[in-house]
């Protein structure tokens, strides 16, 4: 009996030892794969040959331990100098891959969409992108971990990358290691991010500078730095105020205003003045506002927004963006876009308080997705065995950590503000320039919210002058609108030329 018990004990000890070894044994590190091809782009009548690299790079941490395979697509001008400008570019989300910017404006090819209408199903039109910046600079499209081909390896997990500070660190590590790997340390360096990518930019520009990597310029496309401007928190007026000018431009575009100013820019200045001098004091007074004062303000809100005075009064002069989407064209059974309010779509639930769909996203997403994947695998030659993830939202355990160094104790996601990082970097490097590109019809990241944030950054006048604002008669992805695409290229090219 004792012998039997001893055998069982030895067996259990052996099993426990095997299990312990399996738990401590590291997963094998997969090899990075890079697929090469030659692409061309014709710009202003000149054909540029591009050495293209698409795939992954093994990302290592500060202790040289492998932590991820980081996906990218890089376009280098053939026989171009090592000191040619290089732009690191990404979208936002957080949790989005970079294929929107890639196929909309940055790459040698672009997807044609029926702006501002719905694009028909395949076949989609993929054309030479004569508005690419590739005639002036090399471009590296980056896919954050969990998107594209990017994934954690070794001991690393998704949570090590999915957060404000975690993401800033990982993106910065990639840029530093890429510059070394491809001998581009002496190149003029730029960041170009869209949407949440602008929040990321503000952190990355400061992180890189602290590591000794100064940037020539940072480009913010459809910018937001302070999430309070978007979140409509309880007993907070900022979001309502900064959204109102975009409500007004949307109503202006859809001809919902009586006797509207035919000049959009002049109209926007008029609305800014009303918002600052009349609407803001009214919201500040809150319940101290008299019925007469409230009626007067509601009348002007209708005049500028196209939404009825009665609706504004019922909403206590505060209308959220998702309510405005539904209300402006409710009588016609339609709703306007969040990403681009020029787009309209069918409102299946006109009785709802909130919109349930975004017409702009519905209208262009299939074309961008299918068109990019076809280009990625067929023209860039990336193995079809590899699965390109357009977003990280379906990744197991994906959850964003909204805490941020410098914002400690502020309470929640809606308190996150990376403008402090941008101000820190610009104060430490007074040569650094920032280009901010915003659409008048963007209800996802409103232009007046960016203006407000910049005004609160407490920058010296000469540093504030290093921030350039440009505006487009389009939405969040202004490059879907042809006149804005042309202007985008010119503004970006001028910025790069002026910052070398």
Write out pLDDT tens, residues 6-22: 454 444 445 455 454 44
- The yes-or-no verdict on residue 496 having pLDDT over 90 is yes
Q: Count the neighbouring beta carbons within 10 Å of the beta carbon of residue 50.
A: 22
Minimum mean pLDDT range among 221-235, 244-258, 405-419, 471-485: 405-419
Question: Does residue 300 share a domain with residue 289?
Answer: yes
3-state secondary structure of 475: coil
Question: Does residue 332 share a domain with residue 258?
Answer: yes
Of the CA atoms within 13 Å of residue 471, those in its CB half-sphere come to 14
**pLDDT score of 263:** 98
Whether residue 328 lies inside any domain: the answer is yes
Beta bridge partner(s), residue 192: 89, 219
Whether residue 310 lies inside any domain: the answer is yes
Percent of the chain topping pLDDT 90: 87
Percent of the chain topping pLDDT 70: 93
Question: Does residue 218 share a domain with residue 87?
Answer: yes
- The yes-or-no verdict on residue 412 having pLDDT over 80 is no
* Higher-pLDDT residue of 416, 482: 482
3-state secondary structure of 176: helix
- The yes-or-no verdict on residue 227 having pLDDT over 60 is yes
The helix (run of H) or strand (run of E) holding residue 54 is strand 46-60
Tell me how far apart the alpha carbons of residues 222 and 265 are, in angstroms, rounded to a whole number.
18
- The yes-or-no verdict on residue 4 having pLDDT over 60 is no
Query: How far does CA 340 lie from the centroid of its chain?
Result: 14
> Domain tally for the chain?
2
**pLDDT score of 1:** 45
- The yes-or-no verdict on residue 233 having pLDDT over 90 is no
* pLDDT class of 63 with cuts at 50, 70, 90: very high
Question: Does residue 338 share a domain with residue 235?
Answer: yes
Cα four-point dihedral sign 102, 367, 484, 337: negative
Q: Give tens-digit pLDDT for 451-488.
A: 999 999 999 999 999 999 999 999 999 999 999 999 99
**pLDDT score of 220:** 98
- The yes-or-no verdict on residue 24 having pLDDT over 90 is no
Mean pLDDT of 167-175: 98
Q: What is the pTM (predicted TM-score) of this model? A: 0.93
Tell me how far apart the alpha carbons of residues 180 and 167 are, in angstroms, rounded to a whole number.
20
Tell me how far apart the alpha carbons of residues 367 and 361 are, in angstroms, rounded to a whole number.
11
Question: Does residue 134 share a domain with residue 179?
Answer: yes
Question: Does residue 376 share a domain with residue 355?
Answer: no
Whether residue 276 lies inside any domain: the answer is yes
Domain boundary among 301, 328, 359: 359
Question: Does residue 384 share a domain with residue 318?
Answer: no
Whether residue 28 lies inside any domain: the answer is no
Tell me how far apart the alpha carbons of residues 89 and 86 are, in angstroms, rounded to a whole number.
10
- Cα dihedral value 253, 254, 255, 261, nearest 10: -10
The answer to whether the beta carbons of residues 305 and 248 sit under 8 Å apart is: yes
Question: Does residue 485 share a domain with residue 376?
Answer: yes
Beta bridge partner(s), residue 191: 88, 218
Whether residue 16 lies inside any domain: the answer is no
**pLDDT score of 7:** 53
End-to-end CA distance of the chain: 85
Compute the mean pLDDT over every residue in the chain, rounded to the nearest whole number.
93
**pLDDT score of 408:** 64
Instruction: Determine how β-strand 344-346 pairs with β-strand 433-439.
Output: unpaired
**pLDDT score of 299:** 98
- The yes-or-no verdict on residue 5 having pLDDT over 90 is no
Tell me how far apart the alpha carbons of residues 270 and 264 are, in angstroms, rounded to a whole number.
10
Question: Does residue 335 share a domain with residue 219?
Answer: no
Q: Which domain holds residue 275?
A: 231-359
Whether residue 47 lies inside any domain: the answer is yes
Mean pLDDT of 207-218: 98
**pLDDT score of 291:** 96
**pLDDT score of 18:** 46
**pLDDT score of 236:** 87
Q: Where are the alpha helices (DSSP H) in 306-418?
A: 309-314, 321-327, 359-374
DSSP assignment string, 197-236 = HHHHHHHHHHHHHHTT---SEEEEES--SBTHHHH--TT-
The verdict on whether omega for the bond into residue 94 sits within 30 degrees of 0, i.e. cis, is: yes
Q: Give tens-digit pLDDT for 250-299.
A: 999 999 999 999 999 999 999 999 999 999 999 999 999 999 999 999 99
The answer to whether the beta carbons of residues 106 and 31 sit under 8 Å apart is: no
Whether residue 12 lies inside any domain: the answer is no
DSSP assignment string, 73-125 = EEEEETT--TTS-EEEEE--TTTB-SHHHIIIIISSEEE---TTSPPPSSSPP
The answer to whether the beta carbons of residues 78 and 53 sit under 8 Å apart is: no
Whether residue 218 lies inside any domain: the answer is yes
**pLDDT score of 14:** 53
Domain boundary among 329, 359, 389: 359
Q: What is the CATH number of the domain that holds 455?
A: 3.40.50.1820
**pLDDT score of 409:** 55
**pLDDT score of 413:** 56
Question: Does residue 343 share a domain with residue 481?
Answer: no
Q: Give tens-digit pLDDT for 345-354.
A: 999 988 999 9
DSSP assignment string, 243-274 = HHHHHHHHHHHTT-STT--S-HHHHHHHHHHH
Mean pLDDT of 132-138: 98
Domain boundary among 359, 374, 403: 359
- What residues have CB less than 8 Å from 133, skipping those under 6 apart? 87, 106, 139, 489, 492, 493, 496
Question: Does residue 477 share a domain with residue 374?
Answer: yes
Question: Does residue 420 share a domain with residue 297?
Answer: no
Minimum mean pLDDT range among 16-30, 146-160, 311-325: 16-30
């Amino acid at each position: 009996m004792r012998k039997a018990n001893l055998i069982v004990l030895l067996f259990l000890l052996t099993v426990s030892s095997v299990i312990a070894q399996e738990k401590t044994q590291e997963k094998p590190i997969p090899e990075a794969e890079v697929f090469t091809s030659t692409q061309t782009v014709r710009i202003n009548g000149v054909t540029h040959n591009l050495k293209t690299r698409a795939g992954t790079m093994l990302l290592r941490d500060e202790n040289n331990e492998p932590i991820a395979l980081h996906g990218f697509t890089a376009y280098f001008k053939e026989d171009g100098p090592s000191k040619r400008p290089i732009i690191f570019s990404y979208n936002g989300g957080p949790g989005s891959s970079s294929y929107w910017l890639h196929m909309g404006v940055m790459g040698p090819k672009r997807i044609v969409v029926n702006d501002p209408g719905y694009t028909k199903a395949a076949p989609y039109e993929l054309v030479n992108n004569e508005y690419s910046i590739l005639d002036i600079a090399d471009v590296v499209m980056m896919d954050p971990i969990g998107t594209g081909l990017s994934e954690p390896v070794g001991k690393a997990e998704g949570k090590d990358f999915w957060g404000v500070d975690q993401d800033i660190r990982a993106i910065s590590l990639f840029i530093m290691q890429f510059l070394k790997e491809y001998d581009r340390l002496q190149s003029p360096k730029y960041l170009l991010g869209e949407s949440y990518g602008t929040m990321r930019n503000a952190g990355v520009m400061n992180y890189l500078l602290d590591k000794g990597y100064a940037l020539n310029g940072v480009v913010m496309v459809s910018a937001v730095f302070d999430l309070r401007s978007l979140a409509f928190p309880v007993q907070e007026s900022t979001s309502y105020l900064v959204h109102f000018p975009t409500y007004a431009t949307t109503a202006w575009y859809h001809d919902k205003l009586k006797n509207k100013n035919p000049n959009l820019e002049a109209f926007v200045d008029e609305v800014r003045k009303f918002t600052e001098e009349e609407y803001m004091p009214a919201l500040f007074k809150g319940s101290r506002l008299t019925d007469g004062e409230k009626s007067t303000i509601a009348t002007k809100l209708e005049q500028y927004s196209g939404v009825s005075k009665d609706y504004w009064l019922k909403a206590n002069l505060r209308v959220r963006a998702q309510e405005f989407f539904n209300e402006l064209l409710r009588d016609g059974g339609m709703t306007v876009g969040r990403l681009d309010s020029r787009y309209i779509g069918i409102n299946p639930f006109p009785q709802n308080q909130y919109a349930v769909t975004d017409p702009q996203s519905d209208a262009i997403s299939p074309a961008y997705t299918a068109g990019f994947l076809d280009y990625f695998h067929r023209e860039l030659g990336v193995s079809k065995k590899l699965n390109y993830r357009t977003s990280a939202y379906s990744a197991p355990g994906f959850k964003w950590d909204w805490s941020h160094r410098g914002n400690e104790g502020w309470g929640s996601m809606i308190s996150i503000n990376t403008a402090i990082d941008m101000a820190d970097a610009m104060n430490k490097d007074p040569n650094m320039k920032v280009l901010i590109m915003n659409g008048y019809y963007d209800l996802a990241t409103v232009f007046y919210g960016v203006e407000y944030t910049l005004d609160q950054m407490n920058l010296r006048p000469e540093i504030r002058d290093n921030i350039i604002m440009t505006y487009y008669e389009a939405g969040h992805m202004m490059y879907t609108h042809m006149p804005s695409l042309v202007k985008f290229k010119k503004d970006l090219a001028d910025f790069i030329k002026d910052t070398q």
